[in-house]
Each structure stands twice: as structure tokens, then as C-alpha cells.
Amino acid sequence: MGGRSAEHEVSLRSAASIVKAVNKEKYELILIGIDKQGRWFLIADQSPFLGEKIPESIAYSDQDAIVFVPGERGKVEGLANKNISFRVDVVFPVLHGTFGEDGTIQGLLKLADVPFVGAGVLGSAVGMDKDVMKRLFQHAGINTAKFAVMEKTVSEMPKFEEVKKELGDIVFVKPANLGSSVGVSKVRTEEEFQLAVKDAFRYDNKVLLEECVAGKEVECSVLGNELPEASTVGEVIPQEDFYSYNAKYIDEKGAVLKVPAELGPEVVKAVQEAAIRTYKALCCEGMGRVDCFLKDNGDVLVNEINTIPGFTSISMYPKLWEEAGLKYPDLIDKLIELARERHEKESSLKRDFS
């Protein structure tokens, strides 16, 4: 939990919900915090994650610094405190955003030969980069909103009037590699556009410009490896100008979550099919939440996938599965089971030429 991204605090909120829900009679729970500099620490005192108040930050001690031991499956040792030594069977990365959801931690865990929950290196990487993700959508014939991409290296920023000709009068500006609506702006004027692009470039070297789609915002959770399943469909009704960071994680009144969404069975089926197609096209495994726009004419446009979706008490991913009959603790069980299944399958592959 934690991590180096701008979604560090969101990660702690999600982790707290999982810590409370996990079956502690079945699992021995080990908490590992990653600070904003990327250092790893054992969290010996789990009480802040079990209380009513959600932790916003954690105080780490150098005595609790740890590291995975290369070549020793799942072995963790203390850097300063040599009394810290244990093995982990499965890692549950609750790390939203860069250096957690983008394939980096997944690559490290594969090198360490440790099973982990969620998408692998490839699915995580392409699911994180909205530019690459949308190009894969186009290749797979998955409908998505019109978009354009700006690189930080461009010598001259386009005028908003030029952008409007391609994307319409209202445009969303987003960092290409981030989530939780961090750095996202909805712009209507030249001044707003310039400020939004500047803000988005604070978080990434690549910025996505996207048309504003009129219609309902709906979400569908996906679970599984080779044979993924889609959950009930939910609708997000923002009470602000759009579904912002504040509405997602701080203000419980920032958005109304309708679970299930009030949609006809044919529309629900169309959203579920789009979610599964998206999941497969991006080579995802374990879990993912697919966010879509439902236009007034019935067209479904896929906006994005989140390979480590929010797990807070007001997050859509667990809510949708609970509505579908899979309770939170059972969902955690299933995700761990999927991680172990994938690891066993990968371990059976031939690795040499002998």
C-alpha cells in the first residue's frame, strides 16, 4: 500500500477497507507500506487500519525497512533490523497509479517469483497508459470517445480553438498515466485549457485530450483469468461538474452510485459484453473495473479500465460484486485464488532448452 504516485492516500484508504474485510482466521495478514520515496517498510502495528478513522498517512521507522530477497521465493528481510525475516505466499498490491498499477511492481514480483493479485505486467502497463489503451481499443473495434495526445516535448501548445474543431466545445484534459481523476480537468475556454494542460503535465509527460460525451456514466466489474466474468452494472451520477477525486474518495455526497443501474436487460448485456471485450483486448487478469459512457442512442463507449480499482467503502468495484452475490471477504478470497492459479500455470512452463 501507499507508493510513489499521486494516489498514495487513495491506496491507504483502499488498503484499510481490505484489512477490515479479509478473513483473518484464514490468512495471516502482513502489511507492507511503500513511502513516497519508494522505500518499503513492514507495518507492525495494524490498528490504524482497523479503526473507524481511515489513515491518511503512515509514520515509518528505518528499523522497519525491508526488502525482497532475490532468488528466495517470497522471502523478506529487514535492512537494519535483522530480526525481521519472513516469507509471503501471495502479494495483494493495493497500489493505485504509477509505480503500482502500471506493471512496475508486477514485474518486480514476477522476478521474485511471488504470486500476486490482479493483472500481470502487460495488462497493467497498457491499462495504465490511456493513449496506448485507446489505440488498442481502436484496433480491437471497441468504441471509445474521440481523443488526441500531447507530448511534453512539443515546442508549441495548440490553441483551444484548434482542439475544439476535432473534439468539440467541451474537452477533458488528463494525464495519460494516472487514475482517480488526479490532474483531470473539464475545460470550455482557452484560459481553462492552458491551465489544465499545465496541471496535467505536472503528473505525466503525455497528456490526453478527450471529447466530452453526453450520456450516462456506467461501470462494470470484471473478475477472472482466462474466463472472466462481468458483474452487475452500476451508474455513477456526479453531483459536481464531473466525477472528480473529491467525489470519488472524500465527499460521500459527491456522487450518487446506483447499484444496480436502472437499465434494460439488453443494455446491461451490451455493457457487460463491452467490459469483457475490453478486459481481453488489454490482456488483463485477476480483476478490472471497466468504465463506460452510455449515449442516449444506446451506444456504449468504453472510457477506460482500472486494473487496481478502488476498494474503499464507497468504491464501485466491490459494491458491484456484492450486488451480484459475491460478498467482500469472498471477493478477496477469489482474487487470491486467481493469483495462485496463474502462478501455478506460469510455473509449469518450460524455462530452458534442456
For 323-329, what is the mean pLDDT?
Answer: 94
Close Cβ partners of 269 (under 8 Å, ≥ 6 residues apart): none
Query: Is 87 in contact with 76 (CB distance < 8 Å)?
Result: yes
pLDDT at 72: 86
pLDDT at 6: 82
pLDDT band at 282 (very low <50, low <70, confident <90, very high): very high
Q: Which helix H or strand E contains 34, and what residues bound it?
A: strand 32-34
Reported as a single tens digit per residue, the pLDDT across 288-318 is 999 999 998 889 999 999 999 988 877 899 9
Query: Is 217 in contact with 236 (CB distance < 8 Å)?
Result: yes
Reported as a single tens digit per residue, the pLDDT across 99-157 is 999 999 999 999 889 999 999 999 999 999 999 999 999 999 999 999 999 998 776 78
Q: What is the CATH number of domain 146-211?
A: 3.30.1490.20
Nearest to 129 by CA among 343, 305, 311: 305
Reported as a single tens digit per residue, the pLDDT across 229-245 is 999 999 998 766 555 55
The reply to whether 146-211 shares the fold of 8-116 is no
Instruction: Judge whether residue 3 has pLDDT over 70.
Output: yes
- Cross-strand pairs, 182: none
What is the pairing mode between strands 40-42 and 32-34?
antiparallel
Q: What is the CATH number of domain 8-116?
A: 3.40.50.20
Question: Where are the domains positioned within the chain?
Answer: 8-116, 146-211, 215-345
**pTM across the whole model:** 0.90
Q: Exposed, middle or buried by CB within 10 Å (0-12, 13-18, 19+), for 81? A: middle
117: its cell numbers: 493479485
Torsion sign across C-alpha atoms 93, 98, 101, 102:
negative
Query: Is 207 in contact with 175 (CB distance < 8 Å)?
Result: yes
Distance of CA 185 to the CA centre of its chain: 19
**What mean pLDDT is reported for the chain?**
90
How many angstroms separate the CA atoms of 71 and 74, rounded? 9
Query: Is 3 in contact with 97 (CB distance < 8 Å)?
Result: yes
pLDDT at 86: 94
How many angstroms separate the CA atoms of 354 and 163, rounded? 57
Query: Is 209 in contact with 188 (CB distance < 8 Å)?
Result: no
Dihedrals phi, psi of 155, to nearest 5 degrees: -75, -30
**What CATH fold (topology level) applies to the domain 215-345?**
D-amino Acid Aminotransferase; Chain A, domain 1 (3.30.470)
Query: How many Cβ atoms sit within 10 Å of the Cβ of residue 4?
Result: 18
How many angstroms separate the CA atoms of 56 and 126, rounded? 29
135: its cell numbers: 489505440
What crossing angle do the helices spanning 328-347 and 316-323 adopt, rounded to 10°? 100
Please calculate the CA angle 177-163-140 and round it to the nearest 5 degrees: 50
Residue 180 or 22, more confident: 22
The single-letter code of the amino acid at 1 is M
240: its cell numbers: 459536481
How many angstroms separate the CA atoms of 212 and 196, rounded? 15
The single-letter code of the amino acid at 260 is P
How many angstroms separate the CA atoms of 102 and 119, rounded? 10
